Amino acid sequence: MTTVTTPQLTAELREQMHQFYRHLHAHPELSMQEHNTAQLLEDKLGELGVEHFRCGGTGVVGVLRNGNGPTVGFRADTDGLPLAEDTGVDYASTATGRLEDGTKVPVMHGCGHDMHMAVLLTTAQLLTEARDAWAGTVVLIFQPGEETAAGAIAMLEDALWTKAPVPEVIFGQHVMPSRAGTISYSAGDATALADSWRVTLHGRGAHASQPQDATDPIVLGAHIITRIQTIVSREIDPHRAAVVTVGTFRGGLKENIIPASAEFTLNVRTLDPAVRDHVLAALRRIITAEATASGAPEPTIEVLSTFPRNYNDPDATAALIEHFQRGLGEQNVVEVKPLMGSEDFGALATAIGVPSVFWMFGGHDQATLDGEGPVPVNHSPFFAPAIEPTMSTGVQAALTAILSRVGR
């Protein structure tokens, strides 16, 4: 009878994982600029003897082969945020980077991508050390540019699924500000579709005392921004989720000058592709109509980003949740409503027509959740997940998902 070695997260390996996580946290890089991070991941995969290649610029893909069997994919994202860290941890980031326009900004791993990388790399090491426990191929996808929705597309356009074995399912996970040691999931839509635009309003400048000689883009913008809020309240069925947010508005340099142009950016979140189409069409209709009503030229609309659907295949999700419940306990595996946050993870599976499953694992201890003041959330300068039991739970979940398909 063959004895199967069960992968075990030893105290030594757990400490290595923690150290790697702290290093990643202290050295974040902006989206699609993850050059040092990619090199570090390549070095680590090389040390494990895992074949790997670059994809999508700063993306790294590892292919862990272990005989005949199913092929599964698992994704971890790698980019940081233009955010000044204020967590107070001794491994806090002091890194800086430059945006596409050259602006120097602080950089922080404020969304947990550092934890995702360290967890997946540790999972890969466990698989290499317990090869008799599984058979098949695991594709390890370290994806750049998740925050800007550029990374998954870049990898796909760089022929990811020609260079790597095509999996039968792709898994992914994300740390969230819920109780550490727990898993949450949605069957069906996991996260929201998202669209971001920059809208430039064109007018005619003049002195503030001579408005008759101007076409005021600020007044035009005020009407547009007010009117587009009626899309959700008056055009969308209340049972179907949609959010329209204007995040910035810029126009003018002095109080007594009517400017020639103004600019605002907006963000749309939806769960249903049909609702998305309706909202985007309504936005264009209102923006154009309000410009006509003001006697202004047609505004310029620039698409900044588009996040795809992130859909959890119901059958694949149900099968995986049974494994999670057995390993973590039913009380620690909770079904939740879809998140209105967005992810480009779903594009990786949609491109090849295979199912995917994406879940969340908790990152805060009970003291943090019960403390005074708001709980630090993703994209907050105060977001510092509890290292344990968060990371061990992440490894257990990743290993469980992978072995549910390739385990012996």
- Residue 311 CA from chain centroid, whole number: 14
Do 250 and 263 meet the contact criterion of CB atoms below 8 Å apart? yes
User: Which pLDDT band holds residue 170 (cuts at 50, 70, 90)?
Assistant: very high
What pLDDT is stored for residue 162 in this prediction?
Answer: 98
Whole-angstrom Cα distance, residue 54 to residue 155?
A: 9
Is the pLDDT at 77 greater than 70? The verdict is yes
Is the pLDDT at 38 greater than 50? The verdict is yes
What pLDDT is stored for residue 265 in this prediction?
Answer: 98
Mean pLDDT of the chain: 97
Considering the chain, tell me which residue range(s) the CATH 3.30.70.360 domain(s) occupy.
Answer: 193-307
Q: Would you call 132 helix, strand, or coil by DSSP?
A: helix
Candidates 3.40.50.620, 3.30.43.10, 2.120.10.30, 3.30.70.360; CATH matching 193-307: 3.30.70.360
Average pLDDT value for residue range 174-189: 97
What pLDDT is stored for residue 4 in this prediction?
Answer: 64
Do 363 and 386 meet the contact criterion of CB atoms below 8 Å apart? yes
Is the pLDDT at 258 greater than 60? The verdict is yes
Considering the chain, tell me which residue range(s) the CATH 3.40.630.10 domain(s) occupy.
Answer: 11-186+339-406
Q: Could you tell me what percent of the chain has a pLDDT over 90?
A: 97
* Widest pairwise Cα distance in the chain: 93
* Residue 389 structure tokens: 């039991």
User: Which pLDDT band holds residue 189 (cuts at 50, 70, 90)?
Assistant: very high
> Residue 145, CB half-sphere, CA atoms under 13 Å: how many?
22
pTM: 0.93
What pLDDT is stored for residue 372 in this prediction?
Answer: 87
pLDDT digits (tens, 9 = 90+) for 13-29: 999 999 999 999 999 99
Average pLDDT value for residue range 234-249: 96
Which strands form 193-202's sheet, in the order they lie side by side? 242-251, 261-270, 193-202, 300-307
Contacts of 37 (CB under 8 A, 6+ apart): 24, 27, 28, 29, 58, 78, 117
Amino acid occupying residue 7: P
Residues 103/104/108/114 CA torsion (nearest 10 deg): 80
Helix, strand, coil fractions of the chain, as percent rounded to 5: 35, 30, 35
User: Which pLDDT band holds residue 384 (cuts at 50, 70, 90)?
Assistant: very high
Whole-angstrom Cα distance, residue 125 to residue 18?
A: 14
Average pLDDT value for residue range 327-356: 97
What pLDDT is stored for residue 182 in this prediction?
Answer: 98
Whole-angstrom Cα distance, residue 44 to residue 42?
A: 5
Do 112 and 175 meet the contact criterion of CB atoms below 8 Å apart? yes
What pLDDT is stored for residue 1 in this prediction?
Answer: 42
* Residue 171 structure tokens: 């898994």
Do 257 and 207 meet the contact criterion of CB atoms below 8 Å apart? yes
What CATH class is the domain 11-186+339-406? alpha beta
> Residue 150, CB half-sphere, CA atoms under 13 Å: how many?
17
Average pLDDT value for residue range 79-103: 97
Q: Could you tell me what percent of the chain has a pLDDT over 70?
A: 99
User: Which pLDDT band holds residue 62 (cuts at 50, 70, 90)?
Assistant: very high
Q: Other C-beta atoms within 10 Å of 372: how many?
A: 4
Average pLDDT value for residue range 123-137: 97
pLDDT digits (tens, 9 = 90+) for 134-163: 999 999 999 999 999 999 999 999 999 999
Whole-angstrom Cα distance, residue 349 to residue 141?
A: 12
pLDDT digits (tens, 9 = 90+) for 103-118: 999 999 999 999 999 9
What pLDDT is stored for residue 309 in this prediction?
Answer: 96
Is the pLDDT at 291 greater than 50? The verdict is yes
What pLDDT is stored for residue 3 in this prediction?
Answer: 56
